[in-house]
Amino acid sequence: SNGFLVKYSNNSVRPYSIILGWISNVRAGSFTSQGNHIKSSTRLVAFNTDQAGMLGLTSVEPGSDGKWTVTVIPCHADLITDLDFSPFDDNLLATCSADETVKLWRVCEPEQEQPGGAEVTLCPGEGRLELVAFHPTSSGLLAVGSTKTAQLWDTSRQQSPLAALEPHGDQLQSLSWKQDGSLLASSCKVSQSYSIQSNSVSSCVSLQSAQGLQSNKDSRILWVKDSDHILTTGFDQMRGREVRLWDSRKLGSSLGSANLGTSNGTLMPLFDPDSGLLTVSGMVRCSLLSPLTDMSHCLTEAPTRGVAMVPKLALDVLSCEVMRVLQLTDSFIVPINYHVPRKEFHADLYPDTLGRTAAMSAAEWWKGGEKQLRSKITLLSSSSLSLPLSPSPPPPSLSLSLPPSPPPPPSLSLSPPPSPPPPLSLPPSLSLSSSSLSLPPSLSSSLSLPLPPSPPPPSLSPSLPPSPPSLSLSSSSLSLPHSLSSSLSLPLPPSLSSSSLSLPLPPSPPPPGPSSKFRHLQGAVLHRDTHFTNLKGLNLTTPGECDGFCANRHRVAVPLATAGGQIAIFELSQAGKLADTGLPTIQNSVNVADFSWDPFNSHRLVVAGDDAKIRVWQVPEGGLTETLTEPETILQGHTEKIYSVKFHPLASGLLASSSYDQTVRLWNLESGDEVKALRGHQDQIFGMAWSPDGKLLATVCKDGKLRIYDPRKSADPVQEGAGPEGHRGARVVWVCDGKYLMVSGFDSRSERTLYLHSVESLSSGAIASAPTDVSPSTLIPFYDPDTSVVILTGKGDTRVYIFEIVPEAPYFLECASFNSSEPHKGLAFLPKTECVVQEVEVARGLRLSKTSIEPVAFRVPRVRKEFFQDDVYPDTAVWWESSLTASAWLAGSDGKHQSISLKPKDMTPVSEAPKEVQVRKYLPSSHYLEEKTDEQKKDELLSAMIGKLGNMDDNPLPQESFQGVEDDEWAKYLAQIIVMGAQVVGRAFARALRQEYAASQAAAEARGRAGQQSAAASSLTGITLQEAQQILNIATLTPEELQKNYEHLFKVNDKEVGGSFYLQSKVRFIVQFPVLRHLCASQ
């Protein structure tokens, strides 16, 4: 197996499945037990929940709708400490609990009704039970670990255990059976060191014991394959996590170890005996008999509460999945799949694995039955290969024939079955040759060709059944090539077209879950010109029930930390840098508890104080010009400090307030009177919210209750239900047209969580939840009813969460969040009419930081912004205008907001926009597949080049339009340049030429050819004597003489000299020759 690991494990792909493949609606908790908290069979997954005694159950694969169903089963009266599925029965589950009992359950699919009670209940009587493990080869045999000992139980006899193993010195922490079931390994905590024991279950005594890792934390133990090696995980003296390998025959020292860094989490090992792969709390390593070899890592997002390995028989072998690990987190079960990158099934990746038939019973094993393993099976034998045919009557004769294929490779061959199937007799009209189709022995399952029922043809023998339902061909007479390639062809008549012949494909992944069209919502801070800066003295200690600040379309109110409960008012039309001093404010004379603008009067501000009074202020037109000290009205009625105030969404002048006196009171601002008092709360009121139609009022309380009031009918709540478990704070808001209540609060682990409750069944609890993060501040929601988007953030946060809420599962669709560079103290939103629809803004808010107020626009990215996005902007309610008075509402009248369209007059709805004409980027394939001659290809290439470069006759070059000089003028100019060069050389150049001439003369006389001097060439320059003489004559001329004798010197084509061009080139050569330049320089 080592070769397999080295060859394949490093290349295994570990996709950390996207959230659409996660199993949701899971509520796991922080457990204090020794188990792994999650186990899996080939069909079902069981896990611990955050409720003591409750067990969660779901399926390994999703249902037909692509979703997982999660159900909860009440199993014990106390915490479930461990659980285990039987290796021989997918539905048999054993659980042990702190209530000192072990129970066996016959569970079924999560969609079905679960059993009302356990099939078997065992009472070991050894105190709290921590561990339970089924025997790997014997049915009905169970190992149960209590505080300091382990017992063996036969589930068929419930009175007493088969045996109790030798006691341990301290807390028993882990149990593991050897693969053949002969030995049981255990680890325990003994005086802050782990004891590793290898127990003989036949003699019930410890065979080997050793001191393990030195720490007082949890450990795990695991047998490695069917060998004598044990693997342990735990902590060393420095609290570093370690994995060690031991020889069970000699536990004096470990064979090898690997350090996995420091962390508080317990390492939970899982081992696959077929491939030799070991997973340790999400880190994949290869277990060898030598020290551990690191293979690969898989980092996960959420903290791990437990891990489990899916049995090998449930893997998708056709996609080369070699391992699947299930990670239990607080809210999800995350599948982590390991694939070897192959295109099809490879038998070398999948050795035969253990089957599902027990080798013996518990009684036989206890009586000393032979040590034998379960029979092994191939992983591909469980999947059948069927070829369904289309429902049409058969023709008079049908012949399926293929050319003979070579035999399968030896590596895939299996021994022939002991009794071959009888030969298949076919009617004369249907003939099959046994050599025409071939299957490898690994595909030993039958190949089924179902035929539709139809009347038999005339030539069918009477002895045969009139309409055989299917045609079954065994692998001995029908086999396919090893690769199962597409080269397999079956010539069929038209009535049985090849399109109706199909092979079963591997299970397709579940369809993607719903996604929000606002998932890419972008938050952007607007230009600095719209900011309020130089803000000083901000009050950072407003109560948790207060939103921090409030705003309307004209102005914003900000609490200050100065004495007297002062509130600053800033006009949005006067943005900029604020003055250092002299800022007019509203003075309340007491600390501010909460404040809110009247939605129907942008000048009216109500402020709740610590003195149990509500002050109503009227801000003058244009903003504050002086400090206000006298309110317009003071409302008195509460006996203790006020928590919060909320205006009615429809009736003008109707206000609700909550107080420490545990009451909610309604006020008529027009008369200044208290009109209603609601009771029923048992503790602090965290928040309240009016329903969209203004009929109901919902509250969330510290006593863990969610209440709905109908104030006009009763002072007591009409509905009650369980609210958030945390006691730090909460908010409530009506969503989805008032059909649901969304509550923002804390769970039992102080994690900020969103809950969704149905208004019709409030008492049944939350129907969905969405955890966010851990933070002390409460998430304050803003809900947009047009888009059903809720925007949440807390005081002191830097992140703004965005969700779309839908009235069906999964209810919460998370969108992209908005992050700021510094913490903000609050976020207030403006009416929908303040959004710029040309930029597809769906919300505009004001972000309050320590020294500034910044506008933030939330936009949906769209391509065709020139059109009005009517799918994003439905008609919006004019909620800033009242529909009735407080007196009319109290009298029983109901109102409704009018609706307006946000579409500008000059924009066209995108639904009515003309569709863009699709332009084909590439020519059709027929254009490329058409055969062309070489000449055609050459002509096309030339035409393309000409088309690219253009015709030079049509488009002359720019320099061709310039008018130049005559050729004679160029020659005269060149001659002057030559003469000037000769005169610069001067006498030195002439002397060198004369020396050359004399040398040439001497050489000619020596050769006895005095008359042929003109033919003697200079060995130094390569020119004739006559050429040199002529050059010397030219060099002595003045420019005027040269101009005068130009025609004679350069235009006459002297045969002996070689013409003017030849002479010019010789002169240029002599001037450039390096030796002559050196001679000239020496002169």
Determine the residue type at 356.
R
Per-residue model confidence (pLDDT) at position 449: 37
- For residue 1056, being part of any structural domain is answered with yes
Integer CA distances (angstroms), 399 to 425, 531, 552, in order: 14, 84, 83
* Spans of the chain below 70 pLDDT: 1-20, 190-208, 210-216, 225-226, 237, 282-302, 343, 369-374, 380-513, 919-931, 950-967, 981-994, 996-997, 1007-1083
The whole-angstrom separation of Cα 794 and Cα 799 is 8
Per-residue model confidence (pLDDT) at position 848: 94
Return phi, psi of residue 704, to 5°: 80, 20
- For residue 284, being part of any structural domain is answered with yes
Q: What is the DSSP string of 737-793?
A: TTTEEEEEEE-TTS-EEEEEEESTTGGG--SEEEE----SSPPEEEEETTTTEEEEE
Spatial neighbors of 1061 by CB under 8 A, at least 6 apart, are none
Whole-number mean pLDDT of the chain?
A: 76
Burial of 94 (0-12, 13-18, 19+ CB in 10 A): buried
In the block, tokens 């037109």 appear at 621
- For residue 580, being part of any structural domain is answered with no
- For residue 773, being part of any structural domain is answered with no
Of 309, 336, 353, the residue at which a domain comes to its end is 353
In the block, tokens 């009067």 appear at 601
The whole-angstrom separation of Cα 371 and Cα 382 is 27
In the sheet with 321-328, reading across from the earlier edge strand, the strands are 306-309, 321-328, 333-339
- For residue 376, being part of any structural domain is answered with no
Of 310, 334, 353, the residue at which a domain comes to its end is 353
Q: Can you read off the two tokens belonging to residue 444?
A: 């030993």
Integer CA distances (angstroms), 612 to 563, 629, 659, 661, in order: 18, 18, 8, 10
Determine the residue type at 176.
S
- For residue 806, being part of any structural domain is answered with no
Burial of 65 (0-12, 13-18, 19+ CB in 10 A): exposed
Q: In 3D, which of 668, 689, 548 has the Cα closest to residue 616?
A: 668
Q: What is the DSSP string of 20-82?
A: GGSB-S-------SSS-SEEE-SSEEEEE-SSTTEEEEEESS--TTS----EEEE--SS-EEE
Which percentage of the chain shows pLDDT scores above 90? 34
Q: Which domain holds residue 1061?
A: 972-1082
Count up the domains in the chain and report the number: 2
**Pairing verdict, β 306-309 and 172-177:** unpaired
CA 976 to chain centre: 82
Q: Which residues pair with 741 in a beta bridge?
A: 734, 757
Spatial neighbors of 271 by CB under 8 A, at least 6 apart, are 222, 223, 224, 225, 231, 277, 278, 279, 287
- For residue 445, being part of any structural domain is answered with no
**Could you give the angle at which helices 1059-1072 and 1025-1035 cross, rounded to 10 degrees?**
80
Of 326, 353, 380, the residue at which a domain comes to its end is 353
Q: Where are the alpha helices (DSSP H) in 786-924?
A: 886-890
Residue 966: strand, helix, or coil: coil
- For residue 365, being part of any structural domain is answered with no
Sign (positive/negative) of CA torsion 180, 182, 188, 190?
negative
Per-residue model confidence (pLDDT) at position 971: 73
Spatial neighbors of 948 by CB under 8 A, at least 6 apart, are none
What angle (nearest 5°) sits at the alpha carbon of residue 957, between those of residues 952 and 959?
155
Helix (H) or strand (E) holding 92: strand 89-97
The whole-angstrom separation of Cα 684 and Cα 491 is 80
The whole-angstrom separation of Cα 681 and Cα 663 is 7
8 Å CB contact between 171 and 186: no
pLDDT digits (tens, 9 = 90+) for 41-71: 999 999 988 888 888 999 998 888 788 888 8
Residue 327: strand, helix, or coil: strand
Q: In 3D, which of 791, 794, 793, 795 has the Cα closest to residue 804?
A: 791
The whole-angstrom separation of Cα 437 and Cα 487 is 12
Per-residue model confidence (pLDDT) at position 360: 86
In the sheet with 183-190, reading across from the earlier edge strand, the strands are 172-177, 183-190, 193-200, 205-211
The whole-angstrom separation of Cα 438 and Cα 408 is 9
CATH number at residue 303: 2.130.10.10
Which percentage of the chain shows pLDDT scores above 70? 68
The whole-angstrom separation of Cα 210 and Cα 187 is 10
The whole-angstrom separation of Cα 348 and Cα 885 is 80
The whole-angstrom separation of Cα 699 and Cα 646 is 11
8 Å CB contact between 584 and 598: no
Q: In 3D, which of 249, 325, 332 has the Cα closest to residue 285?
A: 325
What angle (nearest 5°) sits at the alpha carbon of residue 375, between those of residues 374 and 378?
130
Q: Which residues pair with 782 in a beta bridge?
A: 791
Residue 324: strand, helix, or coil: strand
Per-residue model confidence (pLDDT) at position 258: 80
pLDDT digits (tens, 9 = 90+) for 965-987: 666 777 777 777 777 766 665 66
